[in-house]
Amino acid sequence: MTSERRPRAARGFTLVELGVVMMIVALLLGSVMYTLSTQLEQRNFVETRGRLETARELLLSYAIVNGRLPCPATATSLGDEALTLGNCTSPYGGFLPARAIGYQIVDAGGYAIDFWQNRIRYAVSSAAPTGCPGPPAPTLPHFTNSANLKNNGITCQPNDLVVCKSATGITGSSCGPAANALTNQSVVVAIVYSVGKNGSLGCPPATCVDEAANTNGDQIFVFHTPAPAGATNGEFDDYLVWITAGELYGRLISAGRLP
């Protein structure tokens, strides 16, 4: 008599096997999320960089039309340039004058903003320039006054804004050691910059030393590749673009505004 065949009992996953599967899934999901997060941050950075480049071109267009660079906006100027008796109210510690230059991506107060909704900042050369033909001494302000810019002459060079590689070594109005300077003080006439993603989080000045140099209201700025929290001078994700004297003069000469 033939014996009956009995079906084999179904075999399920053991707890160990389930644990291994879940660990693999978690690793895969973590890898995907990290990749997506990195791509998103890169996109945000590229978008902000594009906004700064747009602002830079609008500043040069403003100079071509008006024969001068605009002054920075202040916290109370509603996104427009702020002047006091013809001089910039806050030449080094202000914001991009969105209303004056026609910048369109603004917050509720009319101020230009980066991708992280931080107000875009702007500094302009305001000290007495060097290299002017003189005497007499150049009439101030130079780069933010069309008549003075024309009458003082195109040999005048800026003498204040400077971009350094690090806040370490900064002394007085210079970067300190020559190796720490990205530009010297006879090059830059205007700087446009974003305080980056952590700007909205408020990185303490004592921790983010290099970033603090960009918001302390003086003429010295710092720019280098991004640095994580824990770096020597703290986290850094600011991004700067600038306009040189040669570029400004060249644009004005081409447009027939100078000499």
Mean pLDDT for the stretch of residues 92-110: 96
pLDDT, position 111: 97
| Mean pLDDT to the nearest integer, 40-50 | 83
Q: Which of 138-152, 176-190, 191-205, 243-257 has the lowest mean pLDDT?
A: 191-205
- Residues above pLDDT 90, as percent of the chain: 73
Residue 8's pLDDT is what? 57
Whole-number pLDDT of residue 4: 57
When pLDDT is cut at 50, 70 and 90, the band that residue 42 belongs to is confident
Percent of the chain with pLDDT over 70: 89
| pLDDT surpassing 80 at residue 149 | yes
Q: Specify the pLDDT at position 172.
A: 82
44 pLDDT band (50/70/90 cuts)? confident
Antiparallel, parallel or unpaired: β 188-194 and 239-244: antiparallel
* DSSP secondary structure code for residue 219 in this structure: S
> What is the mean predicted confidence (pLDDT) over 17-39?
68
pLDDT bin (cut points 50, 70, 90) of residue 204 is confident
Q: What are phi and psi of 188, to 5 degrees?
A: -90, 130
- Tens-place pLDDT, residues 77-94: 999 999 998 899 999 999
Distance CA 207, CA 222 (A): 15
Q: C-alpha 93: how far from its chain's center?
A: 13
> What is the average per-residue pLDDT within 126-147?
94
Distance CA 111, CA 168 (A): 31
Taken in order 47, 50, 52, 58, is the CA torsion positive or negative? Answer: negative
Q: How far is CA 16 from CA 20, 22, 39, 142, 247, in A?
A: 6, 10, 35, 76, 67
Kindly give, in sequence order, each residue whose CB lies less than 8 Å from that of residue 217, ignoring residues fewer than 6 positions away: 90, 92, 93
Q: What is residue 34's predicted lDDT score, i.e. its pLDDT?
A: 53
Judged against a pLDDT cut of 70, whether residue 12 lies above it is answered with no
